[in-house]
């Protein structure tokens, strides 16, 4: 059981890294955001659509799976 969980955990790690690397970059390089910390854009954010929205959902799913598998591995290895 521990080997199966470890294999799933390693696959999830690789997929999670790929998901994070595939997310689009956020370009906030203007001087005002450097001074204010980007607070001026707080209410002007748009809802992500298309590929960006899909990548955010997939990243959250694989991130949650990462923590669930990590807890399962700790439980299985302690018993």
Tokens read off for 66: 């990462």
pLDDT at position 50: 85
pLDDT at position 48: 73
Contacts 24+ apart (CB under 8 A), 44-52: 51/24, 52/23, 52/24
Mean pLDDT of the chain: 83
CA gap 63, 15 in Å, rounded: 10
pLDDT at position 39: 56
With cut-offs at 50, 70 and 90, classify the pLDDT of residue 23: confident
Choice between 15 and 50, residue whose per-residue pLDDT is larger: 15
pTM higher than 0.75 for the full model?
no
pLDDT at position 59: 94
CA gap 38, 25 in Å, rounded: 15
Q: Are 52 and 26 in contact (CB under 8 A)?
A: no
Tokens read off for 36: 């204010």
């Amino acid at each position: 059981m521990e080997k199966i969980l470890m294999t799933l955990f390693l696959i999830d790690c690789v997929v999670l890294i790929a998901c994070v690397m595939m997310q689009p970059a956020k370009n906030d390089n203007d001087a005002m955001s450097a001074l204010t910390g980007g607070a001026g854009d707080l209410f002007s954010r748009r809802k992500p659509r298309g590929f960006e929205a899909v990548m955010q959902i997939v990243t959250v799913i694989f991130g949650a799976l990462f923590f669930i598998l990590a807890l399962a591995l700790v439980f299985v290895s302690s018993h």
